[in-house]
A and B are shown apart, each in its own frame.
Chain A
């Protein structure tokens, strides 16, 4: 029965469903990420039965390991699997469309705000609170990732380098990538 439902969907129906799912999930997800996953899973696996749960979570996990925008990589994997290359582009397009349109409108409006007087003081306070959100984000990632001495050291060095303007972020990230690769060598040798 399930198999039959799958085959009944035409090429265009599948693309339309992919578009709808990714557009709506992206529309209602702030700052992206994990919150999207449960909504996506419900639509893709439970409601439309486009793929099995396990397969879905597999793609979700890989999307988080690869460089790039996680939500778009996720849409690309699942779109490609469900409906080939057109599915990939349509799902990815739907995932970025709401963010792009709203952010564009917001940016245009934001430029129109006066840069002096009481509004400016309001903006300064809002900028101050944006630093608070950034600290929160750093703390959240720290709790999940700073579990060994190497990682704590990397985080500390990056922090010092940035606040004193010593080294560019891009070099620090490249160094971190190299450290990750070297640690893998060490780990593999340890296993042998």
Chain B
């Protein structure tokens, strides 16, 4: 299949199943992009760029994945595709504001999909961590892991600083880069 059609189908799926926005959409993007050949490193890089670049996560992700697989045209097509659900729902539902807000089905679906997102996002965090610091693809391969204590420490110290002391992620990212760079010379 031509790559542009692959990108359109992929981001239609991401858009229309993307309840909860932002990070909640990331697991679908991860999986769909992995299916067309995105590596775990490239996905981790996407997360880094997302922290550094302003704008909605799904837009950043569509631009990034679209560019890697289809150049500037792919990037434009992917970004426009992921916005399609908005243009479908907003004009249709603008007449039923109050009904949507109190719709039992929608609010329950949203709640359970966000719960799923918690598990999926945490799981993807673990996959990035084990791939990066243990050089394995999932936990079934745990016995062949080669532990890189430095990278393991960066993740947990970073998490602690970000969550506990609310240190700006941009500063943490730059700092991690510098520490990693210097660590090479030690």
Which A residues form the contact surface with B (CB < 8 A)?
26-33, 58-59, 61-62, 64-73, 75-77, 80-81, 85, 88-89, 92, 95-96, 98-100, 102-104, 106-108, 110, 117-119, 121-139, 141-142, 144-146, 150-152, 154-165, 168-170, 172-177, 179-181, 183-184, 187-188
The contact of A181 among B19, B109, B121, B140, by CB within 8 Å, is B109
Task: Report whether over half of chain B's contact residues are helix, strand or loop; otherwise say mixed.
Answer: helix
Query: What 10 pairs across the A-B complex have the smallest Cβ distances?
Result: A99-B55, A125-B180, A162-B123, A158-B119, A68-B85, A180-B109, A76-B90, A132-B158, A151-B115, A70-B21
Name the CB-closest residue of B to A182: B108
Tell me how many residue pairs across A and B have CB atoms closer than 8 Å: 397
Chain B residues with Cβ under 8 A from A117's Cβ?
Answer: 184
Chain A residues with Cβ under 8 A from B177's Cβ?
Answer: 122-123, 125-126
CB interface residues, B 150-168, toward A, < 8 Å: 150-152, 154-156, 158-159, 162-163
Query: Is the Cβ of B47 less than 8 Å from the Cβ of A128?
Result: no
Query: Is the Cβ of B123 less than 8 Å from the Cβ of A128?
Result: no
The contact of A59 among B97, B123, B150, by CB within 8 Å, is B97
Name the CB-closest residue of A to B109: A180
Question: Shortest Cβ distance from B28 into chain A, in angstroms?
Answer: 6
Whole-angstrom CA separation of A180 from B104 in the bound complex: 9
Query: Is the Cβ of A107 less than 8 Å from the Cβ of B67?
Result: yes
Task: Report whether over half of chain A's contact residues are helix, strand or loop; otherwise say mixed.
Answer: helix
Chain A residues with Cβ under 8 A from B117's Cβ?
Answer: 138, 141, 158
The contact of A158 among B107, B123, B132, by CB within 8 Å, is B123
The contact of B56 among A99, A150, A152, by CB within 8 Å, is A99
Question: Shortest Cβ distance from A57 into chain B, in angstroms?
Answer: 10
Name the CB-closest residue of B to A119: B181
The contact of A180 among B30, B108, B163, by CB within 8 Å, is B108
Query: Is the Cβ of B121 less than 8 Å from the Cβ of A134?
Result: yes
Query: What are some 25 contacts across the A-B interface (CB < 8 A)?
Result: A29-B54, A65-B106, A71-B55, A76-B90, A99-B53, A99-B55, A100-B59, A118-B185, A125-B154, A125-B181, A128-B176, A128-B180, A129-B154, A130-B128, A130-B173, A138-B23, A155-B118, A158-B120, A159-B123, A162-B126, A169-B31, A169-B120, A173-B120, A176-B115, A177-B112
Query: Is the Cβ of B115 less than 8 Å from the Cβ of A184?
Result: no
Whole-angstrom CA separation of A187 from B76 in the bound complex: 43
Query: Is the Cβ of B93 less than 8 Å from the Cβ of A62?
Result: yes
Chain B residues with Cβ under 8 A from A62's Cβ?
Answer: 93, 97, 100-101
